[in-house]
Amino acid sequence: MGNPIRDTPCPRSVVIPTWNGGARFERLLEVLADQELEGGFELIVIDSGSTDGTAEAARRAGARVIDIPQSEFGHGRTRNQAIAASGGERIALLTQDAIPMDQDYLANLFGALDDDSIDGAYARQFPLPDCDPLIAERLRQWSASRDTPVIQEFVPGDAEASVAKFEELPPLERYLACAYDNVASCLRRSTWERFPYPERSFGEDVAWAREVLRAGGRIAFEPGARVEHSHNLQLEREFKRIYCDHRNLIALFGLHNVPTWGDVWRGWAYQRNFYRELLSGLELPTLTRWRWRLVSIPHALFETAAQFLGARSHWKAEESRFWAFADRRIRRGV
């Protein structure tokens, strides 16, 4: 059907925040150019000071590029800026390294909004073929890996009743009920105008879903829209991500999975055993299995410690200058 990317307003827009996206972002542009979507779509790239030619590649592909200083980037703020500059009534969001797996990816994702009661939707995610076994397992446990469609709602159209139902749920169920992921998602402009992404340093997507659902809205998980996305394990980066995640989850949902230091040590033991059994069940070369077995030991500790410290960070940072300094350092660049 030819290249569907437009540099002028269309009924549908695709928004991508970028920073030094490299070869994988160029691959994303190629895949988007092969999408089968009647009427095409407008591509908006908002770039935070890339130095590797990312913005230039986007322009060559037909995108409208918004350039901002890296210092001005914010997960919610930057996406809001790009959406405000777009013209679509339906807006899809992707990260620069999430690659659609099918030519009808956008058609399937946007199709979730054919039901006028749906405010937003998110896609199914698959790890890359070379993803390491520990991260691949985490992604398989995430809500965005399911294979059946789900509609998330409390009491549609009734904000007061939706808030009451949300408050009745245990913290973990609150969180799971509000799952949503801007790695690969879409939303309705009219909903975004009422509920722009919140100004948060992390987790703007799940915070947005919480707000929409508590207002009586509805969100769809659409497994027919599939993307490939994962990052291989780096212990420091994973610690920071989990720390920020649980800093967010206690504020939004009251979720505190690892409340004491004793739970950290018990959780470490549980995760070590879990990873040992996981790795023993995989068809891996012996040396590879042992390498990941050794990596899994500190990784399991970092996972549980990051959950514990992230959930405590709000009140600890208020009490201690050291904690306030550490909190800022951990959250930097996430």
* Whole-number average pLDDT of the chain: 94
pTM recorded for the entire structure: 0.94
Q: Domain segments of the chain: what residues?
A: 5-228, 235-331
Q: Which helix (H) or strand (E) holds 231?
A: none
Rg (CA), the chain: 20
Output the CA torsion 33→113→95→50 (10° steps).
70
Q: At 87, is the pLDDT very low, low, confident or very high (cuts 50, 70, 90)?
A: very high
DSSP secondary structure of 93-149? EE-TT-EESSTTHHHHHHHGGGSTT--EEEEEEE--TT--HHHHHHHHHSGGG-SS-
Quick count: other Cβ atoms within 10 Å of Cβ 305?
19
How confident is the model at residue 202, as a pLDDT? 84
Question: In 3D, which of 96, 61, 100, 67 has the Cα closest to residue 82?
Answer: 67
Q: Which helix (H) or strand (E) holds 84?
A: helix 75-85
DSSP 258: -
pLDDT value at 254 more than 60: yes
Structure tokens at 203: 């987790």
CATH class of residue range 5-228: alpha beta
CA dist 158 and 213 (Å) reads 10
Mean pLDDT of the region 266-288:
96
Strand, coil or helix: 203: coil
Q: How many residues does the chain have?
A: 334
pLDDT digits (tens, 9 = 90+) for 119-128: 999 999 999 9
How confident is the model at residue 324, as a pLDDT? 85
**In this structure, are residues 192 and 91 in contact, taking their beta carbons and an 8 Å threshold?**
yes
Q: At 1, is the pLDDT very low, low, confident or very high (cuts 50, 70, 90)?
A: low
How confident is the model at residue 301, as a pLDDT? 97
